[in-house]
Amino acid sequence: MKSAHRNAAHGKRKYMADPSAIYRVLNRIEPFTPAEQHQLNVPIKLAYERLRTGGGDVQDFVTLADAVNVAMIRAEAIDPMAEQTAVAARDALHRCWLRHNTTGKWGFDGPALQDIPPAIDLHEQLLALCTPLQLQDAKREAIRRKEQGAAMPLA
C-alpha cells in the first residue's frame, strides 16, 4: 500500500499543469489591440510609400506582397468584392515585379497606384477583425500556395 501510494504521488509530481497555458490560448483568440494593429500596419504603409517613390528594395516588396496575399486569403472567406480588391492589388504587384526585373527600378504604373491602397485598407480592416490565430493560418496558407506555385512567387 505504501509503495502504491508513493508511485501515485510521484506521478502527480512528474506532471505539473502549466499555469500560463490559458494566457497563451487567450493571446491567440483575442482580437488585436489597437497598438498591435498599429505595429503591424506601419511597416506595410512604409513599404508601399518607399516603393511608390522609387526608393524601395526587395524587402519592401515582400512586405507589401505578403500583406496583400494574407488579405486575399482572409477575404476569400468573407466577400467576393473584398477578394477582388486583393486580387487587383496582387496583379498590380506582379506588374511592379516585372517592371523591376526589366528596368531595375521599383515603381507602380497608373492602375497599380489605384489598386494597391484599397488592398492596404482592406488588410487593416481585416486585422481589426481577425485574431492572431486566424492571421497565422492565413500566413501558413499563403506560404503553402507559394510553394505549390498558386501564388505569385517572390524574390
Per-residue pLDDT of the chain (155 residues; tens, 9 = 90+): 566 666 666 656 555 567 777 767 777 778 888 999 999 999 999 999 999 998 889 999 999 999 999 999 999 988 899 999 999 999 999 999 999 999 999 999 999 999 999 999 999 999 999 999 999 999 999 999 888 876 555 54
Whole-number pLDDT of residue 30 = 83
At residue 10, the pLDDT reads 61
pLDDT for res 155: 43
What's the pLDDT score for residue 110?
Answer: 92
By the 8 A CB rule, do 96 and 89 touch? no
Residue 17 CA: distances (Å) to CA of 12, 14, 21, 27, 146: 10, 10, 8, 18, 39
pLDDT for res 22: 72
pTM value > 0.95: no
